[in-house]
A and B are shown apart, each in its own frame.
Chain A
Amino acid sequence: MSWLTDPLGYDFVLRALAEVVVMGATCGAIGAYVIVRRLAFIGDAISHAVFPGIVLAYLAGLSIFGGALVAGLITAFGIAVVARGGRIREDAAIGIFFAAAFALGIVLISTRQTFQGDLTGFLIGNLQGVSAGDIAISAAVGLAIIVVLAAVHKELVLVSFDRTLASALGYPVFALDALLLVILTVTIVVSIQAVGIILVLAMLVTPAATARLLVDRFVPMMALGSFLGAAVGTAGYYLSFHLGTASGGTIVLLATAVFLVTFVASPTHGLLGHRLRRHPQHAGTSPTVDPPTGHQHG
């Protein structure tokens, strides 16, 4: 078992593991909304658009987190406002904003040869360089996100499932959408340290999509997505430690492998499950496995 315990002798490993667990759990939970609201593309856009914010903050000597957050929020709301007008479809609006923002980051970075090395960490993640302060920020943000998601849970689910009813009942649909985008942006910004701009999308989508293949309720999907995010984060980091590979990439590949296995083998929604269910007389009825429902609001 020394392969399991030996790495724990290093402080930087402990910090990396703490960071990756917090990041994986947060991304996995918000990922449930990314899946059911089809926000994957917008999540990708926000994560890329964060880049020029990071570069500018770096140039100005300001907080990297702050720069990333501001750039992410501007992009999220730019997309929402342009798409809301209705003259440009949302996917086109996203394409315009995110490519432009990323291009701005690249142009800015090309003006100074010196910081290319430092900024590479933001593109592909830098778990080895996580500080105790980074972990504290990630944990505080993760906790705040869970609290907010719990507080407005039924309203967020209602607006996600049935916007028409939500607005007919007088719920502030646009404000709830905006809240979701803010939470998504904050999650992305604190996750970039661990997996980088390019790969954060995978942590938002893959664990949650895997969870969806295993459960048919929203809260179990969030909980399982959260667990899977933390689990593949931890296991992926161990793998990268022993193989000497890039941690962000290794974590994402492991998450993808888990997804593919689930996609084939899930008892309810997997390919094999579908084969088996073709034959019985029950075709068309509910999936046989229900998650334990102790209360009404899963």
Chain B
Amino acid sequence: MSGMSATQAAGLALEGVSAGYGAGIVLEDVDLAIPPGTLVGVIGPNGSGKSTLLKSILGLAPLTTGTVLLDGRPVSEQRDRLAYVPQREAVDWSFPVSAEQVVMMGRYPRVGWLRIPGSSDAAAVRDALERVAMADLGSSQIGALSGGQQQRVFLARALVQEASVLLLDEPMTGVDQTTEQLIIGLLKELRDGGTTILHATHDLESAAEISDQLCFVNRRVVAYGPPAETFTPSILHATFGGELLIVQAGDHSHVHGGGHHGPSAQ
């Protein structure tokens, strides 16, 4: 493989990416190179462009400049290699579908137009539901599930895509402890299997604990590196400014990035 430039290396690469909607640019000049099998925590205040960063990789936020490459080729040519777990608020929970039908949607690109899913797709769905401990609730209408269960269903949908890159927008928001532990376990498992994972989060401590790399975002990438090197007061301040909230409680300090303070788990 000699002769390849750095940008053609395996993994996900953002080169000079600026993105935004309409006239306002939300994200400026992002350069990142993330090797396969890396778990990246994306942190930053509300409106800092965390979601936009994920969406620019997915091709959902229009890029004004730059390119996003996966294994050296534009992601736009290989979208089925990306999986996405949306923010909970973005989902219509009253929609008449069951958990297993939602998971099956992740298989649609493989199934193809004018075809119905086959037994291997059904098996993949069952397997994914088992991995998120939701096998018993597969036939439930999604609105009837708890917040944590709903999040697991969407994680299962990402699993059946068997994607190379997994993007999660606030996956721990509104979920119970059990689900949070389960999600963290699965993310690590997928990471060990070679999946590149980016998860946007407000929980800085948890992000620092579970992530291989932290990506601090505020309109641009303020810092990118292992938690031990980047989870520092100066970088936190540069990212959050006055929005940072540090609560001293005995020996433990809890750090929250703007927005969702306090428990929102159900």
- Which of A's residues lie within 8 Å of B, judged by CB? 36, 86, 151-152, 154-155, 157-158, 160-162, 164-165, 167-170, 212, 215-218, 221, 284-287, 290, 293, 295-298
Q: Given A152-B113, A167-B60, A285-B144, does the pair A296, B101 have CB atoms closer than 8 Å?
A: yes
| Count of residues in B whose CB is under 8 Å from the partner chain | 39
Residue in contact with B108 in the complex, picked from A151, A158, A217, A295, CB distance below 8 Å: A158
Q: Given A154-B108, A168-B58, A296-B117, does the pair A161, B98 have CB atoms closer than 8 Å?
A: no
B141–A287 CB distance below 8 A: yes
Q: Which single residue of chain B is at the shortest CB-CB distance from A217? A: B96
B141–A286 CB distance below 8 A: yes
Q: Which single residue of chain A is at the shortest CB-CB distance from B78? A: A170
Q: Given A170-B80, A287-B144, does the pair A162, B104 have CB atoms closer than 8 Å?
A: no
- A217 CA to B144 CA, complexed, in Å: 13
- A16 CA to B95 CA, complexed, in Å: 35
- A164 CA to B91 CA, complexed, in Å: 10
Asked whether any CB of chain A lies closer than 8 Å to the CB of B137, the reply is yes
Residues of A within 8 A of B157 (CB): 165
A169–B90 CB distance below 8 A: no
B101–A297 CB distance below 8 A: yes
- A218 CA to B125 CA, complexed, in Å: 19
A284–B146 CB distance below 8 A: yes
- 17 pairs, CB–CB < 8 Å, chain A vs chain B: A36-B95, A151-B114, A152-B114, A165-B84, A168-B84, A169-B108, A170-B59, A170-B79, A216-B96, A217-B101, A218-B96, A284-B144, A285-B140, A286-B139, A293-B139, A295-B116, A297-B104
A155–B139 CB distance below 8 A: no
B122–A217 CB distance below 8 A: no
B146–A216 CB distance below 8 A: no
A105 CB to closest chain B CB (Å) equals: 35
Asked whether any CB of chain A lies closer than 8 Å to the CB of B86, the reply is yes
Q: Which single residue of chain A is at the shortest CB-CB distance from B169? A: A164
Residues of A within 8 A of B139 (CB): 286, 290, 293
A155–B113 CB distance below 8 A: yes
Asked whether any CB of chain A lies closer than 8 Å to the CB of B145, the reply is yes
Q: Given A154-B111, A216-B141, A297-B104, does the pair A168, B91 have CB atoms closer than 8 Å?
A: no
Greatest chain A CB density within 10 A among B82, B108, B157 is at B108
Asked whether any CB of chain A lies closer than 8 Å to the CB of B208, the reply is no
- A284 CA to B140 CA, complexed, in Å: 11
A162–B105 CB distance below 8 A: yes
A296–B141 CB distance below 8 A: no
Q: Which single residue of chain B is at the shortest CB-CB distance from A160? A: B95
A217–B97 CB distance below 8 A: yes
Residues of B within 8 A of A221 (CB): 96
Residues of B within 8 A of A298 (CB): 97-98, 101
A190 CB to closest chain B CB (Å) equals: 25
Residues of B within 8 A of A164 (CB): 60, 84, 86, 90
- A36 CA to B97 CA, complexed, in Å: 11
B109–A286 CB distance below 8 A: no
Residues of A within 8 A of B82 (CB): 168
A155–B108 CB distance below 8 A: yes
B86–A165 CB distance below 8 A: yes
Residues of B within 8 A of A287 (CB): 141, 144
B102 CB to closest chain A CB (Å) equals: 7
- A218 CA to B101 CA, complexed, in Å: 10
- A216 CA to B108 CA, complexed, in Å: 21
B59–A167 CB distance below 8 A: yes
B97–A296 CB distance below 8 A: no
B97 CB to closest chain A CB (Å) equals: 6
